[in-house]
Amino acid sequence: MFRSLTAAVLLTLLSGPALAQGAQVAFGGMQQDTSAPVEVTADQLQVNQSDGTALYTGNVVIGQGEMRLAAPRVLIVYAEGQDRIDRMEASGGVTLVNGDEAAEAENADYSIDTGTVVMTGNVLLTQGDNALTSERMVVNLEDGTAQMEGRVRTVINQGSGGQDQ
């Protein structure tokens, strides 16, 4: 889920630019049913029974509901003594996609129980022609919001304005 999903992290941009060190943004259709089944595809899988992890490598794509995440490497950590996923750690260039919204970053950590995705390293969030960049973004999948931190920059395309002469 982390490679392609992170490509453009679903959000509805602010009506004005985010100029401060942190910015709260609506995340549009990014609300997610964190209890939905998780589907993982990859080129390789290594399971470690002793520490309760599964390492997926090579063209990893994870899907949960409408959300998709893609990355070269995803470590899945299972809840201790249970058969359910606790969190997923994606690295190597992550893309998160939901509908026409997407986000990209160097790394992403998805905590299933809390319903949060923390993306770090050159975060790029796009929605249509609009874009936001920062160093860190925390997405709350329960309420469909995101908090961007670390020199936030926003580009909002206004269109042509229809004033051709």
Is it the case that residue 24 has pLDDT exceeding 60? no
Residue 84, amino acid: R
What would the mean pLDDT of 84-103 be, rounded to a whole number? 90
Name which of 98, 126, 117, 102 is nearest 7 in CA terms: 102
pLDDT in tens, 123-156: 999 888 889 999 999 988 888 788 999 999 888 8
Which carries the bigger pLDDT value, residue 96 or residue 19? Answer: 96
Examine residue 51 and state whether it is found in any structural domain, yes or no.
Answer: yes
Note the pLDDT of residue 25.
59
Examine residue 165 and state whether it is found in any structural domain, yes or no.
Answer: no
- Number of domains comprising the chain: 1
Examine residue 163 and state whether it is found in any structural domain, yes or no.
Answer: no
Examine residue 95 and state whether it is found in any structural domain, yes or no.
Answer: yes
pTM of the model: 0.76
Note the pLDDT of residue 135.
96
Examine residue 91 and state whether it is found in any structural domain, yes or no.
Answer: yes
CATH code for position 97: 2.60.450.10
Examine residue 160 and state whether it is found in any structural domain, yes or no.
Answer: no
Residues 6 or more apart in contact with residue 111 via CB below 8 angstroms: 86, 87, 117, 118
Residues of the domain holding 72: 2-155
Examine residue 24 and state whether it is found in any structural domain, yes or no.
Answer: yes
